C-alpha cells in the first residue's frame, strides 16, 4: 500500500469519526473509532491481523444495522411515507436514513476489502509466497461482482454527500463523504 493511500484512508477514517462525534451517538462513535483504528493499523502499523479488524468492522456494521432495525436510528424501519411527509423535515429524515444505511453497509464492505488486501510486509521484504499465489487468492476472495457492488456503494455515498451539502447538512455530508473517500481509496489500491 502506498503512503498516499494510507494517509487518505486514515484521513477518511478521522473524517468519519469527527462526523460521529458531532452526532453524539455512542454506537456511531464506537464504530467510527474501530474504523479509524483499523485504517491506521492496516495502512501503517500492522499490529493486529486484518482478519481481526475485518471481524470488528463486520460487528460494527451489524450493530449499526440492528440499531436501525429496532428504531434507534433516524427512522423506524417500516415507516410509511405519506404525502404530508414530503416536507423539509421528512426530506431530511429520509436523507439521514439513506446516509445511515449506506454507512452501515460500508463497514462490511471495508471488512471485505481489508481481507482482500491481506497483511503487507511492513519491512518491504520479499514474501515467501510467490506472486501468482497471492494474486490468485485475492482474485478468489474479491471477484468482480463484490468490487462492482462496493464501487456502487461508494458512488451512492458520494451522491448522498452532495445532496447533504446542498441541503446544508454538514454532519451527514461529513459521514457520507468520509465513507465514500475511504471505500474509494481502498478500491483504488486494489
DSSP 101-132: HHHHHHHHHHHHHHHHH----TT-PPPSS-HH
pLDDT tens digits for 128-162?
444 444 444 455 454 678 888 999 999 999 999 99
Query: CA-CA distance, 114 to 190, in Å (whole number)?
Result: 10
Taking all residues of the chain, what is their mean pLDDT, rounded to a whole number? 81
Query: CA-CA distance, 115 to 140, in Å (whole number)?
Result: 11
Cell numbers representing residue 44 in the block:
501503517
pLDDT at 83: 46
- CA-nearest of 158, 140, 63, 142 to 110 is 142
Judged against a pLDDT cut of 50, whether residue 22 lies above it is answered with yes
Cell numbers representing residue 169 in the block:
447538512
Average the pLDDT over 124-130 and give the result.
41
Residue with cell 478468489: 140
Give the three-class secondary structure for 70.
coil
Cell numbers representing residue 35 in the block:
474504523
Query: CA-CA distance, 34 to 27, in Å (whole number)?
Result: 11
Judged against a pLDDT cut of 70, whether residue 170 lies above it is answered with yes
Helix pair 144-166, 170-189: axis angle to 10 deg: 150
DSSP 65: H
- Evaluated on CA atoms 163, 145, 30, 75, the torsion sign reads positive
Average the pLDDT over 93-119 and give the result.
89
Give the pTM: 0.79
- CA-nearest of 176, 51, 169 to 106 is 176
- CA-nearest of 156, 150, 146 to 185 is 150
More confident residue, 15 or 141: 15
Cell numbers representing residue 90 in the block:
421528512
Amino acid at each position: 500500500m502506498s503512503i498516499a493511500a494510507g494517509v487518505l484512508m486514515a484521513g477518511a477514517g478521522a473524517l468519519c469519526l469527527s462526523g460521529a462525534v458531532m452526532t453524539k451517538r455512542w454506537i456511531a462513535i464506537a464504530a467510527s473509532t474501530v474504523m479509524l483504528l483499523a485504517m491506521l493499523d492496516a495502512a501503517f502499523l500492522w499490529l493486529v491481523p486484518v482478519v481481526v479488524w475485518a471481524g470488528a468492522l463486520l460487528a460494527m456494521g451489524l450493530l449499526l444495522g440492528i440499531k436501525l432495525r429496532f428504531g434507534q436510528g433516524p427512522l423506524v424501519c417500516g415507516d410509511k411515507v405519506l404525502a404530508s411527509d414530503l416536507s423539509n423535515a421528512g426530506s431530511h429524515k429520509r436523507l439521514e436514513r439513506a446516509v445511515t444505511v449506506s454507512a452501515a453497509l460500508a463497514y462490511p464492505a471495508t471488512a471485505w476489502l481489508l481481507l482482500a488486501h491481506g497483511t503487507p510486509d511492513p519491512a518491504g521484504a520479499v514474501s515467501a509466497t510467490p506472486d501468482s499465489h497471492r494474486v490468485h487468492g485475492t482474485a478468489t476472495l474479491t471477484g468482480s461482482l463484490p468490487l462492482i457492488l462496493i464501487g456502487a456503494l461508494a458512488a451512492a455515498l458520494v451522491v448522498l454527500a452532495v445532496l447533504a451539502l446542498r441541503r446544508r447538512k454538514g454532519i451527514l455530508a461529513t459521514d457520507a463523504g468520509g465513507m465514500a473517500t475511504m471505500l474509494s481509496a481502498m478500491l483504488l489500491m486494489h
